[in-house]
Amino acid sequence: MKVRVAVSLKDGVLDPQGKAISHALHVLEFPEVQGVRVGKIIELEVGESDPEYVVQRARRMAESLLANQVIEDFTVEIVK
């Protein structure tokens, strides 16, 4: 089964990567860009078949490794 963990910076946390991309897009003549936020998508292939168990375990993986919960939020969803 495949599960997807999306990790994004919490609102209000400075995003230097986003700022750099925004600046580069302006240089490349995309003036309409007003803001950029960058996050991660981590797709996990797991050898389990119970969706509830898989989501619960993926949450534990996010809490212990995949997301820095001081500055990041995460969501977990099963990939159909």
List residues binding a second copy (CB under 8 A). Answer: 6, 8, 18, 21, 24-25, 28, 30, 32-48, 57, 60-61, 64-66
Q: What is the C-alpha separation between 12 and 53, in angstroms, rounded?
A: 33
Nearest approach, Cβ of residue 70 and a second copy (Å): 18
Shortest gap between Cβ of 2 and a second copy (angstroms)?
9
DSSP state of 58: H
* Closest distance to a second copy from the beta carbon of 7 (Å): 9
Residue 22: exposed, middle, or buried by beta-carbon count in 10 A (0-12, 13-18, 19+)? Answer: middle
